[in-house]
Amino acid sequence: MKWSDLWLRLRALVFRNRMEQELQGEVDFHVEMMIRKNVARGMSADEARRQAAIKFGSPPAVLEGCRDERRVNVVYGLWNDVRYAFRQFRRSPAFVAVCIVSLACGIGVNTAIFSIVNAALLRPLAFPQPDRLIAVYSVNAAPGGRLWPAAPADFRDWREQSRAIENLAAYASGSLSLRFGDRTEEFRASRVTANFFETFGVQPMLGRGFEPADDLSQTPNIVLSHRLWQSRFDGDPLIVGKQIQTASGALTVAGVMPPEFKFPSSPDLWTPIGCCVEIGRRAVRYWQTVGRLRDGQSVETAQAELQAIARHLGELYSKDNSGWSAQVVPLDKAVVRDVRDPLWILMGAVVFVIVIACANVAGLILARSVSRRREIMTRMALGAHRWRIVRQLFVEGLLISLFGAVAGLLLARWSIGALFQLLPETAFTSLNRFREGVKLDGTVLLFTVAMSMLTAVVLTLTPVWDSLKAGLVESFRTAGPKTQTRREHRLYRLLVMGQFACAIVLLAGAGLLVQSFVRMLNVDYGYDPQGLSVMGLPQPAQNRETFVAQVLERIHGVPGVESAAVMSYDLFGGLNFPFNIENQPFPTGDVIIRYSSVTPDYFKVLKSRLVAGRRFDARDSPNSPGVAIINESLSRQYFSDRDPIGQRIVLSYNNQRIPREIIGVTSDVRQDAPGEPIKPEILVPWAQLPWMSATLVFRAEGEPLRTQKLVQEAIWSVDKNLPPGRARSLEEIHSSQVATPRLYMILISLFSAMAMMLAAVGIYGLFASIVTRRSNEMAIRVTMGACRPSILWMVIGEGIRLSVAGIMLGLVGAIALARLMRSLLFEVSPTDPFTLGSGTLLLLAVALVACYIPARRAAKTDPMVALRHE
Amino acid sequence: MGKRKQPLDLLQGTLDLLILRTLQKEPQHGWAIAERIEEISEHVLEINQGSLYPALHRLEHEGWIKAEWSTSELGRRARFYHLTASGRKQLDLESHQWDRMTAAIGRILRMA
């Protein structure tokens, strides 16, 4: 391209008005000169003007010719296309509204879900060199072995022996009560090894982190989170080195972490894990690990090395470690272990929604392009190039998808906020961890833009492809606008069929999740949750035995309280310990088993059934022989061939093996969320094994908040220095346990409702178009004596046939895809016939209603009106 | 103008040559170019405005002519076109080609 050329083009663009004026001025001058000449020849002024106009021809055509020569028409043309498209849109606002709403739904949900996927799965962890970070798990060689945390002793051996891992740190959950004046408050603490922060490569923003000395003895150092530092210490810049009081002594602030560091699950503060106390434990696995690979080492080399180390440990400590290996997992994978599958499933679901939305809009455009044939024929007759028409269609498709994208972005912005409202903050799920990271950032916007461009291409290509198949010109030439050809609606029919196929896949998925959720809500907990509450029970440093007895006695006096008991840790079977049978030890060594230490009234509070033997009572004192009660699951699993009563088991605890006699079997109590199986569990009397962390469980009538307050006062009447415990009703706990499945269920149901509505609009649009195009045929049928119901049924029958075909196609896909979501299902088979059947019926009903409206219109055709219209 | 002979259609591509040649002596506006061609050809060639102005803009686009606004002989502002250096070269080239072609065609008409 020459410079002058570029300049002219630029000038043409920038000084468009000036150039137009110049052109116009030139033409005007020419015409004027012609008139003068004519006048000079003796014509009258009017005749001179008339002859000049005749001779000159059409000024716009001349101007258009000049613009063409200047090659600025592409730009003008595009601008004209846009204006023309807007004119078209104004003429059919309903069409545009349906298109934009359809695309907004599709693009909106895709953007919203993608922003979560982006935050949780795509964005790298916010630590230096995040790809070097790993987690190491214990894994049992047994088939289907899940990943376990590490035993402290195993962790120490891994750390000492591994060369591939530069830094291996451990962390465990804990809590800490800090005293502010006369108030005591409990905070979530993460207990960590001294190298924890160093492993992440993150420095405290104030002070130092922990030092190796913190590992050796449990030093009274703590590191504050930015949040706690701000909220409780007003961001005191001199906080480092200051003392904070607790119930059991003073702690020193060793540092404050930067606001973005929240590992593992946004704790309030970090404390030393105190290696010296727990590091000898090999049988209990409860330390989580995080490590950094040495440069040049890969996950695979670390895996091979740790496997060898674990094998060696298995030989050395066959009692605790035989059959156990180690598994190295990249940290970014490890932190999203439980949300990855659900998120990809959700992403898959919303892709179905956008496909249905696109098919919907493509169908509408197709129907319109059929009725716009006359217009397009006219334009082609006037000399419009074929690609000009295609460009016009593309501009229209692009505009529609741009509007859809903008509306979709607004929808996504709003729905991301709403989505997390569905997830209570108390529900501990790893999805919650990404709450703050979910936003419409550049990646998400890029995704949205790419999606709307793709949409525009699909929307343009559909009518073009449809026409090309018949030959563009032919298709525009054939038939007047009122005759129906079979071929004409074939692509539209396929689109609607595809919509129904996609919709049934989503409906089937939603149905399965709803079924699962209903079953979760109706799951048998093995106890009556009505009126049941639990409350953390902090214990004083001294006289714990008498303290618990006193507290229980006072609580029994609280009005409304029916019964109360104390159990170890925070919920049923909250601890895991190795056990064995004394006379017939398992050949593979000890088995890890759920375990609780409980006061005698525990069974009465839960209203659990005694299956055999007796319950704990006053006979079971610290000095009497050790006893235990097992649950039905344990009895079934390990004593299926004999009476468990009187059998002796061994519990390993603190490197001691304590034998106990089974005195009773109690009915199963569900320890975990409904999705988890009921685990074998051992219960021992509190008197024989009091536990440092205790939980009060009580059943009360009346207003829970008031009762909880009275119970708290009863505890303080025994020891007023204790921090308050947090009380929760079992119903609250259950609802937070199912909060995540509930979220997935709501989302997928929402998506499938959208899919169903879009499919309904799709089939409605198809038949509305068919009925309009066939109004002649209908009129003739009526004239020839067809009764109206037969016409009604003819149209509805066609609709049903079409939707059934789509649904059948979709069911095959639904059955194939449902297996992928097995991990989200609870007590429901992926091919549950009831779910698939009811989804099919629902969708058919919707299709029926959607076809009925145009069908009724067809049946009401007045032959005179329809034929006269021709 | 009834009895006059029907003007001839211009051969493809000759309009450019005629415009360039008309502008060789002095700058002209579109109207004068058309008038001059018609005059000199004794109304055998008639310029269609639908092709004159696009042609002028095409030549300007090619950089062979340049346009400037100035006052016409009747005191009205008009767009005057003049040849550029490359336009002169183009004129030489095209008239040479034209000579060769008409000579060739003439020979064929005489001899064949």
Rounded Cα–Cα distance for residues A629 and A646 (Å): 11
Nearest residue, CB atoms, A65 vs list B53, B60, B77:
B53
Question: Are B82 and B23 spatial neighbours (Cβ–Cβ below 8 Å)?
Answer: yes
Asked if A62 and B79 come within 8 Å (Cβ–Cβ), the reply is no
The Cβ-side half-sphere exposure at A755, using a 13 Å CA radius, reads 34
Confidence of residue A482 (pLDDT cuts 50, 70, 90): very low
Give the number of other CB atoms < 10 A from CB of residue A241: 10
pLDDT value at residue A145: 66
Res A479: pLDDT: 46
Chain A residues with CB inside 8 Å of B28's CB?
none
How far apart CA A338 and CA A431 sit, in angstroms, is 9
**Which residue of B lies nearest to A69 if distances are taken between CA atoms?**
B58
What angle separates helix A490-521 from helix A340-371, to the nearest 10 degrees?
150
- The pLDDT > 90 percentage for chain A reads 25
pLDDT number for residue A662 = 94
* A766 against A218, higher pLDDT: A766
What is the residue-averaged pLDDT of chain A? Answer: 84
**pLDDT score for A724:** 76
Closest Cα in chain A to B52? A62
Q: What angle separates helix A788-818 from helix A490-521, to the nearest 10 degrees?
A: 60
Assign B56 a pLDDT band (cuts: 50, 70, 90). Answer: confident
Q: Is the pLDDT of residue A483 over 50?
A: no
A147-194: pLDDT as tens digits: 888 988 899 999 999 999 999 999 988 778 787 777 777 788 888 998
d(CA A444, CA A116): 10
Question: Nearest 10 degrees: CA dihedral of A407, A413, A415, A421?
Answer: -160
Q: What is the mean pLDDT of residues A265-293?
A: 82
A273 Cβ neighbours under 8 A, 6+ residues apart: A170, A171, A172, A191, A192, A193, A215, A287
Which of A155, A109, A31, A242 shows the shortest CA–CA distance to A748?
Answer: A109
Instruction: Check residue A124 and report its DSSP letter.
Output: P
Tell me: the pLDDT tens digits for A491-538?
888 889 999 999 999 999 899 989 888 888 888 888 888 889 999 888
Look at residue A4 in the predicted model and tell me its pLDDT.
57
For A388, the token pair is: 């000009």
Above 80 in pLDDT, residue B50?
no
> What burial class does residue A151 get, using C-beta atoms within 10 Å of its C-beta: 0-12 exposed, 13-18 middle, 19+ buried?
buried
pLDDT higher than threshold 90 for residue A353: yes
Identity of the amino acid at A781: R
pLDDT digits (tens, 9 = 90+) for A584-631: 888 767 777 888 999 999 999 999 889 999 999 888 988 899 999 999
Residues A52-72, mean pLDDT to the nearest whole number: 75
Whole-number pLDDT of residue B1: 38
Q: What is the pLDDT of residue A428?
A: 47
Interchain proximity A62–B50, CB inside 8 Å: yes
For chain B, the residues whose C-beta falls within 8 A of a C-beta of chain A are 29-31, 34, 48-51, 53-58, 60-61, 63, 69, 72, 74, 76-79
Q: What is the DSSP string of A603-669?
A: HHHHTPPEEEE----TT--TTSPPEEEEEHHHHHHH-TTS--TT-EEEEEETTEEEEEEEEEEE---
CATH architecture designation of domain B14-111 = Orthogonal Bundle (1.10)
What is the model's pTM? Answer: 0.72
Identify all chain B residues contacting A30, using CB atoms and an 8 Å cutoff.
30-31, 34, 49, 53
A869 pLDDT above the threshold of 70:
no
List, for residues A683-734, the tens digit of each pLDDT value. Answer: 999 999 888 888 999 999 888 888 888 898 898 888 887 877 778 888 888 8
Q: Are A78 and B70 in contact (CB under 8 A)?
A: no
Has residue A384 got a pLDDT over 70? no
* Closest chain A residue by Cα to residue B61: A5
B58/A57 Cβ within 8 A: no
Write down the H helix ranges in A126-175.
152-161
What tokens does B105 get?
């065609």
CA-nearest of A662, A622, A762 to A102 is: A762
Chain B CB contacts of A69 below 8 Å: 54-55, 57-58, 61
Q: What is d(CA A517, CA B94) in angstroms, rounded to the nearest whole number? A: 86
Using an 8 Å CB-CB cutoff, list chain A residues near B30. Answer: 26, 29-30
Nearest one of A412, A655, A697, A369 to A532, comparing CA atoms? A697
Partners of residue A62 in chain B, C-beta under 8 Å: 49-50, 53-54
Helix, strand, coil share (%) of chain B residues, nearest 5:
55, 15, 30
**Cross-chain Cβ contact A70/B48 below 8 Å:** no
Mean pLDDT score, A782-800 = 85
